[in-house]
Chain A
Amino acid sequence: MARSVWKGPFVDSYVLKKAERARESGRHEVIKIWSRRSTILPQFVGLTFGVYNGRKHIPVSVTEDMIGQKFGEYSATRTFYGHAGDKKARRR
């Protein structure tokens, strides 16, 4: 069942505080968080979070199209390396 709209999106309060502090400082830093369940809010766009996957913090640079998703969706808990083949990486 979907979450009731009147509640608003769920975000752990410490994530909000950390993000606010990082935005005020204006420094180029990674905000380490353990809260995979928190929703990505519009005020997080442009920040880089280190989202814990149970072993390490995966860097997640938040962009506009991630708003409304959860942080955990961008921090996989299992890694399959496979072969490089002809796969491409794009520098953003």
Chain B
Amino acid sequence: MPGKRVCVGAITGAYGVRGEVRLRSFCADPLAISSYGPLWCDRARRNFSVTITRPIKGGFLARLAGVDSRNQATDLCGTLLFADRSMLPELKDDEFYHSDLIGLEAVYRDGARLGAVQAVLDFGAGDILEVRMENSKDTVLLPFTAATVPTVDIAAGKIVIDPPDGLVPVSVKTEPR
């Protein structure tokens, strides 16, 4: 997936006078943020090598390459940090990154469209895909199981679904393109 970037953290403030920043990690393992190579900044078209110095309440203190003063650090406050998708490690079969699943089109076996995956949730009973239905603000929750989602085709940008009866309102099924 060349070119795609994933938001892995944010700079929440400056710390001290030597250019250290407060960093919030959005990674499953918060410390992993420093292992994804140079992180891209959403505002300026530049990237930073991140070195975590120590944990603080709500995140980490970090040093960014090329940021040596408090003024530079303050300018970066509120910046989102993105990693290249190619830097994320390969996963086992039947494991997918949330960022890959979000945006995929959900289609039935017969080709009819339901909508697009909006979020991936987990309340303790396995992962759930939240699919936003076409031409509607309503969403449908689908358990992420092999029975309900038999095919995940990230390259083609779609998942094939076979939802159990009673989960999706019958009226929302749209014809194939």
Seen from chain A, the residues whose Cβ lies within 8 Å of a Cβ on chain B are 27-30, 32, 48, 50, 56-63, 66, 73-76, 79, 81-92
Contact = CB atoms under 8 A, between A and B. Distances in A.
Contacts of B52: none
B32 A86 contact: yes
Given A84-B6, A84-B7, 5 more contacts: A29-B164, A83-B8, A85-B25, A91-B95, A91-B127
B125 A60 contact: yes
A52 to B, nearest CB: 12
Contacts of A82: 26
B94 A59 contact: no
Interface residues of B, number: 45
Interface string B126-156: 1110000000000001111111010010000
Contacts, number: 118
Nearest to B150: A91
Given A50-B167, A86-B88, A89-B120, A59 B28 contact: no
B26 A83 contact: yes
Nearest to A90: B95
B6 A58 contact: no
Contacts of B95: 88-91
A89 B101 CA distance: 9
B147 to A, nearest CB: 7
